[in-house]
Copies of this chain bind each other. A is one copy, B any other.
Amino acid sequence: MSTRRDAVRQTLSESSGFRSAQDLYADLRADGSKIGLTTVYRALQALSDSGEIDVLRNDDGEAVYRACGTESHHHHLVCRVCGTAVEIEGPTVESWAAETGAKHGFTDVTHTVEVFGTCPRCSS
């Protein structure tokens, strides 16, 4: 059965930015769902395990999730006011990270990149 998981996935997809678990839970309840907080966490974990969504931590240490349009490796440009995220790609960064890692003798190099700013709508 995956009704609940789908509900979580859908709610997340309808959002344009990163959402916290608590946040999504509130949304779901507001929509009349009788879903429990535990289930929201389980759904989010399952979704991130299967690679359907991205997880990262905000500065408060809260886990935030996002359903991405593409499954390939990419980064985000996030508005620090409204949270809206734009998916971006940076071949430049990819290769720079790989080279830098290699230069120091590191192997299995991975990286995380997040770009923050104020989006046009929020800055006006």
How many chain copies?
Answer: 2
Residue of B nearest to A111 (CB): B115
Known contacts A57-B61, A100-B88, A117 near B108 by CB under 8 Å: yes
Q: How far is the CB of A108 from chain B (nearest CB, A)?
A: 5
Task: Report the 9 A-B pairs with minimum CB-CB distance, sorted nearest first.
Answer: A106-B117, A105-B120, A109-B117, A61-B61, A57-B57, A111-B115, A101-B117, A92-B96, A107-B118
Known: A77-B100, A97-B113, A112-B116. 13 other contacts (CB 8 A): A57-B57, A61-B61, A93-B96, A93-B113, A100-B115, A101-B115, A101-B117, A106-B115, A106-B120, A106-B123, A110-B116, A110-B117, A112-B112
